[in-house]
Amino acid sequence: MDSEQFKNFLFRTNILDASYPVRGAHVWLPYGFQFKKLVFNKLETMMTDAGYKQHEFPRLMPGSSLRKIAATVKDFSQNVFWLKDGNKDTDIFLNPTGESGIYPMLRQWIKISSDLPIRLFQVGNTFRSHHRPYPLINSDESTPLLEGHGVFRTRQEVINEFDAVLKILEDMHNTLVIPYRMVTRLQWGNNPVSEKNISFESYFPPKNVNLNIGVAYLQDQIFSRIFDIKFESEGSATEHTHQLTFGINERALAAMLAIHSDNYGLRLLPEFAPIQVVLIPKPKLHEDYGIEKYTKKIIEKIRARVYIDKNKNRTVKQKISHWRERGVPLLLIIEPNDVQNQTISASTRTQNIWQTVSADDIEQTVLKYFSEVEKQIREDAEFFLEEKTKAAKSRDELVNLVGQNYIVKFSYCGSTECGINLERDSVGEILGIGVKEKEHGKCIGCGNESAVVGYFSRRAQSP
Amino acid sequence: MDSEQFKNFLFRTNILDASYPVRGAHVWLPYGFQFKKLVFNKLETMMTDAGYKQHEFPRLMPGSSLRKIAATVKDFSQNVFWLKDGNKDTDIFLNPTGESGIYPMLRQWIKISSDLPIRLFQVGNTFRSHHRPYPLINSDESTPLLEGHGVFRTRQEVINEFDAVLKILEDMHNTLVIPYRMVTRLQWGNNPVSEKNISFESYFPPKNVNLNIGVAYLQDQIFSRIFDIKFESEGSATEHTHQLTFGINERALAAMLAIHSDNYGLRLLPEFAPIQVVLIPKPKLHEDYGIEKYTKKIIEKIRARVYIDKNKNRTVKQKISHWRERGVPLLLIIEPNDVQNQTISASTRTQNIWQTVSADDIEQTVLKYFSEVEKQIREDAEFFLEEKTKAAKSRDELVNLVGQNYIVKFSYCGSTECGINLERDSVGEILGIGVKEKEHGKCIGCGNESAVVGYFSRRAQSP
């Protein structure tokens, strides 16, 4: 499915409508909205369980913050949407990420040592202009971004938390069944916005590009100095706080929708499927044969989000193909002879084989099917990312494989010079250095002994 | 509590911080955010139960929509925030309400009779500039607005739905325990945006003004003509759809927080309290006396959001006053002798009398207390609005009572001329005509026989 087909597919399956009259923005349709809600509710719960407290900062950001950042790190003022009040210019811009709104408040809230640590997060729409917007990937309006911020007393504390945060992001990707690699991003520019930046890299099939989803920044004191966030430590001495930030946005939804799908349509994980079970009663010759009563009895036993499809304008075959395309994990059919036999016909979205099961233990059977569906989607997702990855033994091979849209793994000395040379010869770019991956070979750029694994690919522009 | 004190009170009780560096915007703090989430989750469920399907339209709106509205109804272009992309002007503005984004999509989605009816809603932040912003009341960024839209084939259908919508809004106000009156708003301008506009009017004590919360517009074909939304009816004839819209925003939260509070602080309805029960174990002389185990046993029996306050830096007295101020519906204390007696000390936020209850039926006891708290808050809220309302028998009396910040009820002939005269003599304005209220007296403006009840008050600017 190519990029345009994927957009049409999302519309047809009631996920979103990308034909909204503002470029770079899209409408969430009811089925897609429920899917998104289930996913982000889960992510919010995971953040809360990890000790992060949910806040909500305004989308309206003060210009003063951008000027502070421009003075030290980089001038972002051309990369954001500024507001006019009627026809008068204002000093307000729209939230691209939370820093500019959150850090001035941290400065107010933090006075003394016991105000720390702070762990907070928010979930909200964010705004950034893109040359080539694409729904969920490079949206001018991202709907939404979940971002966490941690503020600590010491460098050691923030370093420890950084490891904990990577664990949270790993859990999130595993829970959403998004296959990923963790890479340390290379920071070739001056004045970096973080000491260390680790991203979670996956792949987006409709565009044949690598896709970064989760990201974590160890800022340490870079931003606490910019925003003068400090606390009284011993006695009257004050010290700048030690900070980190991380996030995951609607790209996670894009990855789930695209990677989990097959040729027939969506395949949704049971946990995140707005409809988990569709039940199709199939009376014969317009007579009931006790099906209505039997269906009711079955429904009461199933603890899941069930939809009963009684639509008279569609054949059973049409219904099956409709709900398969929408990715419903489990389909059940009840026919007159099932009433007699106390049975049900069942087919999972992933196996697509009809089986006759007993009504007695339907509650357990449904859960068993759900776990089979999840297992299958998980296996396929991992296999998918493996398939998309190839190792290159030389510079020519790398260029060739990247041209074929693979993620390319290579021995790398890690030097800036060598990296820049490699990028000059190829489409795509270095994604980063594999976290916890070791390599003992010769760098394919310079031939020197290499200690790390580099990843190279065409990639979707950062959100 | 005056207006400034109320803002400080909201900060102290961890609801929101109004000192954000962009005027007219505020930060939701964790306790307030959870309260808001519980309220809006409930409202979303009520919308879904009423057959409305949740969508999410972008916050970025096309300028073309405003020009269409300007050509027929009114030019709103000075009342909204426009976007610049870096330093370049765009034709995009920020969502003040959903029409400009929703109606172009309805035009695409609706082709034939069977595409109707459509009932949809969304919940999201909205943006509008205010001369005198005040958090939750006149926010430049309202967080959020819930708005519903209904699209129908015939005039009769939309009229019927309008009654159903008023019922939904009544249910919402009753569920949130916001005392209200329904009034039909007078439409004195030309080119009205609706055929009929009914609003739900309450009162906001910190500012001593009337406060409109829910609102419903019977638009019929006004906007379907502007946006050319039509369907094929019989054969090839096309007809414009018949529409209505309604909404409720963060003002509902302001009303709940302000009206339900008393001199000691917040009083939260159990259903919407982030913490429903605080349990304070009170060991003596740092010995446990089996309290830990007993507390655990009690907790397991209570089906509610419970917080156990084991803070060692606060006395029990301080804890009680802290949680009272935050409006927790039920406080429980466990002392060593309770372990022996299998009892608990309990006090509701509304009664503030300590009672000893048995541990055996604590599950039921908690529910009983919750319903007492709700009952008390409900009675107080209704009494509050009654107290704030006075009847005037003459024009002078009306002016005097409105000056004393009352909502004034009066016999009214209903004429525009008389209404304008009344407003000329007084602060405040006519809120509207009481729905389903009858009056048989003389209009206090012109002395003619009056058929309706008018309401007059100082009011908070519309959101």
Cis peptide before A117, with omega less than 30 degrees from 0?
Answer: yes
Nearest CA in chain A to B20: A105
pLDDT score of B425 more than 90: no
A22/B56 CB distance under 8 A? no
CB-based contacts of B155-160 (< 8 A; 24+ apart in sequence): B155/B220, B155/B242, B157/B117, B157/B242, B158/B218, B158/B220, B158/B242, B158/B243, B158/B244, B159/B218
Separation between Cα atoms, residue A309 and residue A322, nearest integer Å: 11
pLDDT score of A18 more than 80: yes
Write the CA distances from B171 to B160, B215, B345, integer angstroms: 17, 13, 35
Give the rounded distance of the alpha carbon of B45 from its chain centre: 15
pLDDT score of B237 more than 90: no
Assign domain A389-457 to its CATH architecture. Answer: 2-Layer Sandwich (3.30)
Which residues in chain B have their CB less than 8 angstroms from residue A228's CB?
none
Distance of residue B5 Cα from the nearest chain A Cα, in angstroms: 19
Q: Could you tell me if A124 lies within 8 Å of chain B, comparing CB atoms?
A: yes
Q: What is the pLDDT of residue B461?
A: 76
Determine which of A135-144, A260-269, A443-452, B62-71 has the lowest per-residue pLDDT on average: A443-452
pLDDT tens digits, residue range A360-413? 999 999 999 999 999 999 999 999 999 999 999 999 999 999 999 999 999 999
Q: Could you tell me if B73 lies within 8 Å of chain A, comparing CB atoms?
A: no
Of the residues B60, B91, B250, the best mutation for testing chain A's interface (the one with the most A CB atoms within 10 Å of its CB) is B60
From the list B58, B61, B83, which residue is nearest A26 (CB)? B58
CB B186 within 8 A of CB B112: no
pLDDT score of A121 more than 90: yes
Eight-state DSSP code of residue B459: B
User: Please, which pLDDT band fits residue A190 given cuts at 50, 70 and 90?
Assistant: low
Q: Could you tell me if B34 lies within 8 Å of chain A, comparing CB atoms?
A: yes
From the list A17, A125, A143, which residue is nearest B105 (CB)? A17
- Chains A & B: contacts with CB separation below 8 Å: 147
- Averaged over B174-184, what is the pLDDT? 98
From the list A25, A62, A64, which residue is nearest B58 (CB)? A25
pLDDT score of A284 more than 80: no
Separation between Cα atoms, residue A43 and residue A20, nearest integer Å: 27
Same fold, A270-373 and A389-457: no
Separation between Cα atoms, residue A299 and residue A281, nearest integer Å: 12
pLDDT score of B25 more than 70: yes
Separation between Cα atoms, residue B136 and residue B250, nearest integer Å: 6
pLDDT score of B190 more than 70: no
- CB contacts under 8 A, A 286-305 vs B, are none
Helices vs strands, H then E, count in chain B: 13, 25
pLDDT tens digits, residue range A216-248? 999 999 999 999 999 998 777 899 999 999 999
Give the rounded distance of the alpha carbon of B350 from its chain centre: 22
Q: Could you tell me if B131 lies within 8 Å of chain A, comparing CB atoms?
A: no
CATH fold, domain B390-457, is Translation Initiation Factor IF3 (3.30.110)
Q: Is B376 left (phi over 0), alpha (psi -120 to 50) or beta?
A: alpha
Q: Could you tell me if A313 lies within 8 Å of chain B, comparing CB atoms?
A: no
Nearest CA in chain B to A143: B58
Determine which of A184-188, B121-125, B249-253, B344-348 has the lowest per-residue pLDDT on average: A184-188
Radius of gyration of chain B from its Cα atoms, rounded to whole angstroms:
25
pLDDT tens digits, residue range B90-147? 999 999 999 999 999 999 999 999 999 999 999 999 999 999 999 999 999 999 999 9
Which residues in chain B have their CB less than 8 angstroms from residue A305's CB?
none
pLDDT score of B265 more than 90: yes
A58/B87 CB distance under 8 A? no
Q: Could you tell me if A141 lies within 8 Å of chain B, comparing CB atoms?
A: yes
Which residues in chain A have their CB less than 8 angstroms from residue B86's CB?
77-80, 82, 129
A105/B27 CB distance under 8 A? yes
pLDDT score of A289 more than 90: no
B25/A143 CB distance under 8 A? no
User: Please, which pLDDT band fits residue A329 given cuts at 50, 70 and 90?
Assistant: very high
Separation between Cα atoms, residue B2 and residue A60, nearest integer Å: 27
A84/B86 CB distance under 8 A? no
Assign domain A270-373 to its CATH architecture. Answer: 3-Layer(aba) Sandwich (3.40)
Q: What is the pLDDT of residue A71?
A: 93
Sign of CA dihedral A185, A186, A188, A194: positive
Q: What is the pLDDT of residue A245?
A: 98
Report chain A's mean pLDDT, rounded to a whole number: 95
Report chain B's mean pLDDT, rounded to a whole number: 95
B124/A124 CB distance under 8 A? no
Which residues in chain B have their CB less than 8 angstroms from residue A143's CB?
56, 58
- CB contacts under 8 A, A 418-447 vs B, are none
A27/B58 CB distance under 8 A? yes
- CB contacts under 8 A, B 88-107 vs A, are 89-90, 92, 94, 101, 104-105
- Averaged over A7-14, what is the pLDDT? 98
Nearest CA in chain B to A48: B30
B30/A83 CB distance under 8 A? no
Q: What is the pLDDT of residue B70?
A: 94
pLDDT tens digits, residue range B45-56? 999 999 999 999
The terminus-to-terminus CA distance of chain A in angstroms comes to: 22
- Averaged over A316-334, what is the pLDDT? 97
Q: What residue type is assigned to position B416 of the chain?
A: T
Q: Would the ipTM clear 0.85, i.e. be above it?
A: yes
From the list B22, B80, B124, which residue is nearest A58 (CB)? B22
pLDDT score of A177 more than 90: yes
CB A260 within 8 A of CB A381: yes
Looking at domain B277-369, which of 1.10.3720.10, 3.40.50.620, 3.40.50.800, 3.40.50.880 is its CATH number?
3.40.50.800
Distance of residue A42 Cα from the nearest chain B Cα, in angstroms: 15
Q: What is the pLDDT of residue A288?
A: 77
A83/B81 CB distance under 8 A? yes
Q: What is the pLDDT of residue A378?
A: 98
B58/A17 CB distance under 8 A? no
Q: What is the pLDDT of residue A285?
A: 65
Q: Could you tell me if A311 lies within 8 Å of chain B, comparing CB atoms?
A: no
From the list A34, A82, A120, which residue is nearest B84 (CB)? A82
A21/B83 CB distance under 8 A? no
Nearest CA in chain B to A28: B56
Q: Could you tell me if A127 lies within 8 Å of chain B, comparing CB atoms?
A: yes
Separation between Cα atoms, residue B100 and residue B278, nearest integer Å: 46
CB B38 within 8 A of CB B271: yes
Q: Could you tell me if B84 lies within 8 Å of chain A, comparing CB atoms?
A: yes
- Burial status of residue A84 (CB atoms within 10 A of its CB: 0-12, 13-18, 19 or more): middle
Dihedral angle over CA of B153, B159, B165, B169, nearest 10: 150
Q: What is the pLDDT of residue A189?
A: 65
pLDDT score of B233 more than 90: no
CATH of domain B3-260: 3.30.930.10
Q: Could you tell me if A19 lies within 8 Å of chain B, comparing CB atoms?
A: yes
Write the CA distances from B331 to B298, B308, B313, B353, B354, integer angstroms: 13, 10, 19, 10, 9
Q: Could you tell me if B143 lies within 8 Å of chain A, comparing CB atoms?
A: yes
A81/B83 CB distance under 8 A? yes
pLDDT tens digits, residue range B271-297? 999 999 999 999 776 677 799 999 999
- Averaged over A318-337, what is the pLDDT? 97
Domain boundaries, given as residue ranges, for chain A? 3-260, 270-373, 389-457
A81/B82 CB distance under 8 A? no
B20/A57 CB distance under 8 A? yes
Q: Could you tell me if B140 lies within 8 Å of chain A, comparing CB atoms?
A: yes
Q: Could you tell me if B87 lies within 8 Å of chain A, comparing CB atoms?
A: yes
